Structure 1
Amino acid sequence: MPATIPVADVELLADLLVPVEPVGVVLFAHGSGSSRHSPRNVAVAHTLNDRALATVLVDLLTPEEERVDERTAELRFDIGLLAGRLAGIVDWLATDPTLGGLPVGLFGASTGAAGALVAAAARPERVRAVVSRGGRPDLAGEALARVRAPSLLLVGGRDEQVIGLNESAMTSLDGVAELRVVPGATHLFEEPGTLEQVADEAGTWFTTHLRR
């Protein structure tokens, strides 16, 4: 279901998928240069829907900002901007008649994972779980120590540089956190079966930690 979400002084385009009797809602934060139409995130979202989790796939930049970012790549690494908009969407979800009573999870990929963790630190009473796929949690900086939501970091076994960055971030996460390496996967999890493993692990993490 298409939606327009007002956040601060902009309106963000989103796709909402709401199963019958959802037990939670997961907000997606895509990575640099991607969008709500990311085939990998859409595939993960469908798996979560099968587990009775509502999903929100959203463009964190406006169309005008996207055009600027395509030329300069300056906004995709603006973690403060991305996190602020994610926190604003979390606030908007609280007012939605269907989704407002549901616990919230955040699923972040690449730079979106840093934004998700900063937003989780800013909304500890609302965000109940975080999953990072091939993420850059190191870019969340000092906010990592304030994250209270149980956080799962999933990294490809062949994505060696990002494994190191995730290991470093793990030392700063003060709450419940796990780093799991998906054997044989590269950064985008394009190898057969690897994205399915990500979706399955994310589904289990969210259904375990998103409780009313």
Structure 2
Amino acid sequence: MTSVKIPAGSATLNGELIMPPDAAGIVLFAHGSGSSRFSPRNTYVANVLQQHGIATLLFDLLTRAEDQDYDARFDIELLTERLLAATRWLQNNPATKSLKYGYFGASTGAAAALQAAAAMGDAIAAVVSRGGRPDLAGKSALSQVIAPTLLIVGSEDYGVIELNEQAYALLKCEKKLTLIAGATHLFEEPGTLEQAAKHAADWFSCYLS
């Protein structure tokens, strides 16, 4: 694991880059509101991806001071800018510039992942949302995403399921909506996070290899 510092305008974002041998692709994690690069759920998913030979970048979308501001946590434009800054940083990094890129977003981070994917076009090979709010990406961005996109939602995450269905209908790319039986919003039920991670690993393995 390599600790990294990512320049993003006037801010510097802390991250953790892990590169398995012979990785063909790398997934950038966009965490949800009130979370960080140390999110236990994202860390778990990242470990599963690494076992599949996929590199991962977990990083803080907000500085510590910004994260104290409730509004900043829901500023999708700001979160998107930060994700794009991290993507450009990888594109300029000799160790990662030749890899295929994917985005994994949770909660509000899923909206940022989809807005960034819309902006990056074919530079992004795949997107996965877990318990995400893809609806917050907006109609325009959703209709412009061309990266194959997987939306993973808990079958007991009422309200969020409907929001994901609305976003799914607006996506024109290759897409899939997967419900994890018995899971609520945070996938805290036994075995549900493992299922979500397996679906994500299969999706990224298909499109990043």
The whole-number CA distance in structure 2 between the counterparts of 1:161 and 1:172 is 17
Structure 2: segments with no counterpart, 5+ residues = none
Letter in 2 for 1:173: L
1:41 aligned partner: 42
The AA in structure 1 aligned to 2:3 is P
CA-atom RMSD, angstroms?
0.8
CA distance in 2, matches of 1:76, 1:99: 28
**Counterpart amino acid of 2:175?**
A
* 8 Å contact kept, 1:90–1:126: no
1:172 maps to which of 159, 162, 170: 170
Q: What displacement does 1:10 show?
A: 1.4
Structure 1: distance between partners of 2:17 and 2:187: 24
Shift of 1:8: 2.0
Q: Give me the whole-angstrom Cα distance separating, in 1, the residues matched to 2:125 and 2:10.
A: 27
Partner of 1:56: 57
Are 1:31 and 2:32 matched, yes or no? Answer: yes
Out of 147, 150, 154, the position equivalent to 1:149 is 147
Tell me which residue corresponds to 1:189: 187
| Structure-2-length-normalised TM-score | 0.97
> Which structure 1 residue ranges, 5 or more long, are not aligned?
none
Q: Which amino acid aligns with 2:153?
A: V
- Contact 1:151/1:177 (<8 A) preserved: yes
- Give 1:125 shift: 2.8
After TM superposition, the score normalised by the length of structure 1 is 0.96
**Counterparts in 2 of 1:126-145, with a 5 A limit?**
126-141=123-138, 142-145=140-143
Q: Which runs of 4+ in 1 moved over 6 A?
A: none
1:20 match: secondary structure: coil
Tell me if 1:13 matches 2:14: yes
Does the CA-based 8 Å contact 2:122-2:146 persist in structure 1? no
CA distance in 1, matches of 2:121, 2:9: 20
Question: Whole-Å Cα distance in 1 between the matches of residues 24 and 167 of structure 2?
Answer: 29
**Aligned length in residues:** 207
Secondary structure at the counterpart of residue 112 of structure 1: helix
Partner of 2:91: 94
Of 199, 202, 209, which residue of structure 2 is paired with 1:201? 199
